[in-house]
A and B are shown apart, each in its own frame.
Chain A
């Protein structure tokens, strides 16, 4: 099964407020609020770490969630954000120039 690699688009702005991550696409102004689990995936989206590894190390271990369920949820989350241009997805590692950090 091919791996999935994810990275944050350079066209987004992100900000943490009261423990929640807010993400906005500067091109179409779509706005998302990420929960804790989604935020963990978002923050680990470095273009080099496979999604499966992110789910294992950042989701299952930290949030005590069943691996299969976590993988399914993560794939759905990644698919939704990629459709809005907020996450970039590839089956190869993605070279990144700058992954925006939330402040």
Chain B
């Protein structure tokens, strides 16, 4: 006689990748359903992750390690271990129930899938203004959350922390993500063509400056979320970064933190050929 174990599932779709999250712990499922509300999907999942929950524990400060083990990828940090087979899409995650561990697993998984598809996750706020997506990247404290807070009501906030960028035939698209920063608020589940990437700096007034191509690539690479020690993927990522810089205007946006910065953004004229 077999004893069945009840499994609950919800499918979370960020960008074009639907991930089924399966657990036998109903409370955990409820918690992650709330966390990723707005990103639930009825799509056939591309990836299925089964969860094996351990006891409660703190969020780990350890570095993430992402490496290949045969055909599988292994992700490890103090508070989670995950094994994922990219061919079947199936994976097993052993973690404590803290949601930050799950956020990290999802970010790693998305970064791997996106990199292979010519996209990336970027440390950046992003928002849709007049049908165009703008990305705002920079070091911690540069103003990602500030820009998001200053956005007028007509602007759709995609995220204040982690932007999802993928290629399409005309250039690149930015999707909303549930990965929140200081705003502690998930982005909208929306998508728009990327009109520009701004690297933020706070200053006494608002101005937009060109960045040389190599500097644009250097800054972009520094802010892309990427964990794997894998030459093939790094090559792919570098090619993607160069392609992005060739197709999308990348600028330095110095801004004084008040709402007028959004006039500067709204008035930005896209110049598709980079300096």
- C-alpha gap A13/B232 in the complex (Å): 8
Residue of A nearest to B215 (CB): A33
Residue of B nearest to A35 (CB): B214
Whether B135 is near chain A, meaning CB under 8 Å from some CB there, is no
Whether A27 is near chain B, meaning CB under 8 Å from some CB there, is yes
Whether B242 is near chain A, meaning CB under 8 Å from some CB there, is yes
Whether B239 is near chain A, meaning CB under 8 Å from some CB there, is yes
Q: List B residues 175-233 near A (Cβ within 8 Å).
A: 212-215, 217-218, 221-222, 226, 229-231, 233
How many chain B residues have a CB neighbour from A under 8 Å? 22
Contact B238 A11 (CB under 8 A): no
A residues less than 8 Å from B229 (CB atoms): 26-27
A residues less than 8 Å from B258 (CB atoms): none
Q: Point out the residue from A12, A33, A100 that lies within 8 Å of B218, measured CB to CB.
A: A33
Contact A22 B214 (CB under 8 A): yes
- C-alpha gap A14/B242 in the complex (Å): 11
Q: Point out the residue from A10, A11, A15, A33 that lies within 8 Å of B239, measured CB to CB.
A: A15
Whether A94 is near chain B, meaning CB under 8 Å from some CB there, is no
Q: Point out the residue from A12, A14, A31 that lies within 8 Å of B222, measured CB to CB.
A: A31
- C-alpha gap A103/B235 in the complex (Å): 10
- C-alpha gap A18/B245 in the complex (Å): 10
- C-alpha gap A27/B214 in the complex (Å): 21
Whether B234 is near chain A, meaning CB under 8 Å from some CB there, is yes
- C-alpha gap A26/B68 in the complex (Å): 14
A residues less than 8 Å from B221 (CB atoms): 24, 29, 31
Contact B213 A20 (CB under 8 A): yes
Contact A17 B213 (CB under 8 A): yes
Whether B24 is near chain A, meaning CB under 8 Å from some CB there, is no
Contact A22 B234 (CB under 8 A): no
Residue of A nearest to B246 (CB): A17
Q: What 8 pairs between A and B have smallest CB-CB spacing?
A: A26-B234, A13-B235, A18-B213, A26-B231, A33-B214, A20-B214, A13-B238, A13-B234
Given A18-B274, A24-B234, A33-B215: 6 more A-B contacts, CB < 8 Å: A15-B238, A18-B212, A18-B214, A22-B218, A29-B226, A33-B218
Interfacial residues, chain B to chain A (CB-CB below 8 A): 212-215, 217-218, 221-222, 226, 229-231, 233-235, 237-239, 242, 245-246, 274
